[in-house]
C-alpha cells in the first residue's frame, strides 16, 4: 500500500514539475509578484499532495466499489436494474469530479451546484446508453454520429456564451475519479459476452459519457433562455495573503463533502442490499474515502488559491507585455507537458495497453495525445487574438472526427474518443483555462465566448491525432500481413522445389 502511495506521489511530482519550471523561467522575463510566486509554489506542493492522496484513495476505494457493483450488475441479468444503477452511478461519480467543480466555479451567473447537477445527470443518462451498447453490442459510430448531429442542430438555439461552456463540460466531466470507475464498469458489463466485438465494446464508455454533458448544458441553455455571463472581478484575486488558504480550506471541504456524498450513499445502499463487503474490506474502503476527502480538499485549495491565480496573471501580464507573441508557444509547451502527465490520461492508457495486449503502443498514445492537446491550446490562444467564434473551430473538428470514423478501425475510434474525454483534464481546467481568461481580460474580450472552449478543443483535437495513429497502424498492419503472405509463398515454393 505504501509503495502504491509512493508511486502516486512520484506521478504527481512528474505532473507538476514541468509547469513549475516553466513558470520560474517566465519570472525572468515577466515580473511576477513575489507573494504570488510563493503562493504558487505552496500551491504546487499542495497539488502534489492532494493529487497523490486523491488517486491513492480512489485506487483502494472507488475501483473496489466499481468492480463490485459492475460484477453484481452482470450477475443479476436484470436489464432495468442495470440501467437504473448506471444512471445513478454516472450521476454520482460526476458530481464528485474535481475538474467539474473548478469549471463550474468559473461561471458566476449560474449557481455552481445547479450546473454540476445538470451536467452530472447528462453523464448518467449517457452511461445508461453506454450500458445498452455494451450489453447488446450497439454501434458506437452510429450513436456518436447521431449525438453530434443533434448537438449541431441545437447550436443555433443555445445562448452564444453557453456553447463553449457546454463543450468544455464534456472534457471536464471525465477525469481522475470517473475514468477508472467508468472503464471498470464497462469491462464488467461486457464480461458476459463471448462474441468477437466484446473487446471493442470495452472502450467507448468514456466517449459517450463525455457527450452527455454537452447536450445537457445545451438543453439547460434553451430552457434557461437568458444571457449567461461571468464576472471577472469575482474570478481574479489580487490578494495573495496566506489567509486565503484558510478561507478556501473551509469552502473546499464543504464542496468535497457535497461532491463525495452521492457515492457514499450509493455504496451504503449497495451494502445494505447485498451485504457483499466484509469487515476488512469495509475498513479499507472507508479509509480510502477519508483519504479521497483529504486529497480532494487539498487539490481544490491549491487550484483555487495559487494555480488559477498564477494562470490569470500570466495570461494577462504576457498579453500586455512586449512578450505577447510568446503567449501562444509558451501555452503550447505547457499543454504538451500537462497532457503527458495528466493522471486521467495515464489511467486510460494503462487500461488501453492492458485490454489491447500492447498492440496500441503507450508511446504512440502519449505522443499523439500530447501533440493534440498542445495544438488545441495554441488554437485557443490564437482565437483570442483573432476573435473567431468557437463554433468555427469546434464544429469542423468534430466533423473531421466523424468522417475519420469511416476509415479508422472501430477499436481505435472508441479509444480515440475515450482519450479525447480524458485529455481535457485537471491541469487544463485549473491552469490553461485561467491563462486564456487572463489574456481575454487583457484583450477586453468576452470571457465566455473568447476564453472558454479550451478544454473542449483539448478534448477534440487529440481524437483526431489518435485516429490518425489508428490509420497508420492499420496501414502498417496490412503491410505486415502482405509480407507474411509473401514469406509463406516463398517457403512453400522452396519446399515444393
Confidence at residue 240, expressed as pLDDT on a 0 to 100 scale: 57
For residue 267, what are the contacts with CB-CB under 8 A and spacing of at least 6? 65, 285
Question: Which residue carries 522575463 as its cell?
Answer: 29
Non-local CB neighbours of 262 within 8 Å, separated by 6+ positions? 91, 92, 95, 96
Give the phi and the psi of residue 256 in degrees, each rounded to 5: -65, -45
The number of CA neighbours under 13 Å toward the Cβ of 114 is: 9
Please give the DSSP secondary-structure letter assigned to residue 260: H
Reported as half-sphere exposure (CB side, CA atoms, 13 A), residue 2 has a value of: 0
pLDDT at 179: 72
234/98 Cα distance (integer angstroms): 20
464, 400 contact by CB (below 8 A)? yes
pLDDT at 403: 93
Question: Of the candidates 343, 346, 385, which has an alpha carbon nearest to the alpha carbon of residue 363?
Answer: 346
Domain coordinates in residue numbering, the chain: 2-496
Question: Across the 497 residues of the chain, what is the mean pLDDT of every consecutive 10-residue run?
Answer: 76 81 89 88 89 82 74 76 84 79 71 84 88 81 92 90 87 71 69 61 78 89 65 55 80 83 83 84 89 87 84 90 90 85 66 66 78 91 88 92 88 81 74 88 85 88 86 72 43 40
* Confidence (pLDDT) at 379: 92
Instruction: Say how far apart CA 73 and CA 57 lie, in whole Å.
Output: 24
Q: Assess contact for 11 and 349: CB atoms under 8 A.
A: no
Q: Find the helix or strand (DSSP H, E) in which 50 lies.
A: helix 34-57
Q: How far apart are the first and last CA of the chain?
A: 63
With beta carbons less than 8 A apart as the criterion, state whether 423 and 367 touch.
no
pTM for the whole thing? 0.79
Closest CA relative to residue 353, chosen from 427, 425, 419: 419
**What are the φ and ψ backbone dihedral angles of 435, each rounded to 5 degrees?**
-60, -45
What is the pLDDT at residue 485? 46
Could you tell me the CA-to-CA distances from 454 to 26, 232, 237, 383, 497 in Å, in that order? Answer: 22, 17, 21, 10, 65
| Residue 323: all three cell numbers together | 512578450
Give Rg (Cα) of the chain.
Answer: 23
Report pLDDT for 455: 85
Amino acid at each position: 500500500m505504501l509503495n502504491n502511495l509512493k508511486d502516486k506521489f512520484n506521478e504527481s511530482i512528474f505532473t507538476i514539475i514541468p509547469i513549475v519550471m516553466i513558470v520560474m523561467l517566465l519570472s525572468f522575463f515577466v515580473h511576477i509578484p513575489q507573494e504570488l510566486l510563493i503562493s504558487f509554489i505552496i500551491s504546487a506542493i499542495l497539488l502534489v499532495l492532494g493529487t497523490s492522496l486523491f488517486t491513492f484513495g480512489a485506487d483502494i476505494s472507488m475501483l473496489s466499489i466499481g468492480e463490485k457493483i459492475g460484477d453484481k450488475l452482470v450477475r443479476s441479468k436484470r436489464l432495468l436494474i442495470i440501467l437504473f444503477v448506471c444512471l445513478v452511478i454516472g450521476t454520482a461519480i460526476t458530481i464528485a469530479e474535481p475538474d467539474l467543480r473548478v469549471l463550474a466555479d468559473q461561471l458566476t451567473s449560474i449557481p455552481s451546484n445547479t450546473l454540476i447537477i445538470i451536467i452530472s445527470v447528462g453523464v448518467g443518462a449517457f452511461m445508461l446508453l453506454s450500458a445498452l451498447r455494451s450489453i447488446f453490442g450497439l454501434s458506437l459510430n452510429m450513436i456518436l454520429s447521431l449525438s453530434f448531429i443533434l448537438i449541431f442542430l441545437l447550436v443555433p438555439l443555445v445562448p452564444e456564451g453557453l456553447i463553449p461552456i457546454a463543450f468544455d463540460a464534456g472534457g471536464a466531466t471525465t477525469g481522475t475519479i470517473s475514468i477508472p470507475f467508468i472503464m471498470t464498469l464497462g469491462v464488467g458489463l461486457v464480461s458476459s459476452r463471448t462474441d468477437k466485438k466484446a473487446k471493442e465494446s470495452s472502450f467507448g464508455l468514456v466517449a459517450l459519457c463525455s457527450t452527455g454533458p454537452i447536450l445537457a448544458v445545451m438543453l439547460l441553455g434553451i430552457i434557461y433562455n437568458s444571457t449567461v455571463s461571468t464576472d471577472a472581478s469575482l474570478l481574479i484575486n489580487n490578494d495573495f495573503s496566506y489567509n486565503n488558504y484558510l478561507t478556501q480550506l473551509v469552502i473546499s471541504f464543504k464542496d468535497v463533502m457535497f461532491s463525495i456524498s452521492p457515492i457514499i450513499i450509493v455504496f451504503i445502499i449497495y451494502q445494505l442490499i447485498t451485504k457483499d463487503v466484509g469487515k476488512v474490506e469495509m475498513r479499507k474502503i472507508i479509509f480510502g474515502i477519508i483519504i479521497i476527502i483529504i486529497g480532494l480538499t487539498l487539490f481544490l485549495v491549491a487550484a483555487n488559491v495559487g494555480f488559477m491565480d498564477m494562470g490569470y496573471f500570466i495570461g494577462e501580464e504576457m498579453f500586455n507585455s512586449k512578450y505577447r507573441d510568446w503567449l501562444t508557444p509558451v501555452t503550447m509547451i505547457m499543454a504538451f507537458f500537462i497532457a503527458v502527465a495528466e493522471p486521467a490520461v495515464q489511467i486510460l492508457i494503462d487500461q488501453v495497453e492492458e485490454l489491447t495486449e500492447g498492440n496500441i503502443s503507450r508511446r504512440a498514445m502519449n505522443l499523439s495525445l500530447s501533440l493534440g492537446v498542445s495544438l488545441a491550446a495554441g488554437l485557443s490562444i490564437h482565437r483570442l487574438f483573432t476573435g473567431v467564434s468557437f463554433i468555427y473551430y469546434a464544429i469542423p473538428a468534430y466533423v473531421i472526427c466523424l468522417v475519420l470514423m469511416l476509415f479508422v478501425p472501430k477499436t481505435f475510434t472508441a479509444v480515440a474518443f475515450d482519450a479525447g474525454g480524458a485529455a481535457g483534464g485537471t491541469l487544463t481546467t485549473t491552469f490553461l483555462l485561467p491563462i486564456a481568461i487572463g489574456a481575454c481580460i487583457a484583450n477586453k474580450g468576452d470571457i465566455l465566448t473568447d476564453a472558454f472552449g479550451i478544454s473542449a478543443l483539448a478534448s477534440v483535437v487529440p481524437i483526431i491525432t489518435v485516429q490518425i495513429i489508428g490509420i497508420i497502424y492499420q496501414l502498417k498492419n496490412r503491410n505486415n500481413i502482405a509480407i507474411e503472405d509473401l514469406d509463406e509463398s516463398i517457403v512453400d515454393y522452396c519446399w515444393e522445389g
